[in-house]
Amino acid sequence: MAGHGIARKTIWDAAADIRSGALKVLLPDWIESEPGIYAVFQQNRYMPPRVRALLDFLIDRFQRVADEILAGLPAPLEAVQEGSID
């Protein structure tokens, strides 16, 4: 941000700085889909309802926040998101 070079950052980390003009997107064709947030838990046949409820809540909340963060910013290529690069 002080003009010292190029960095690869996640959109979660860079969105506010891009909007403020402190950072610029230099290679928009090379933006990758964000892997997102991972929930790690022990998987077995029975998932307690409280764990399923928490996962559903987190999925919904992070999707809404991601949509707000990404609004108006350069997005990954559609082909990359769909996994069908020609």
Structure tokens given for 18: 């891009």
**DSSP label at residue 33:** P
User: So what's the pLDDT on residue 57?
Assistant: 93
Tokens of 65: 């926040």
pLDDT digits (tens, 9 = 90+) for 23-67: 888 887 777 766 667 788 787 788 889 988 998 998 888 888 777
Whether 72 has a pLDDT exceeding 90, the answer reads no
Nearest to 75 by CA among 22, 35, 32: 32
Q: How confident is the model at residue 83 (pLDDT cuts 50, 70, 90)?
A: very low
Question: Can you give the pLDDT at residue 10?
Answer: 79
Confidence of residue 86 (pLDDT cuts 50, 70, 90): very low
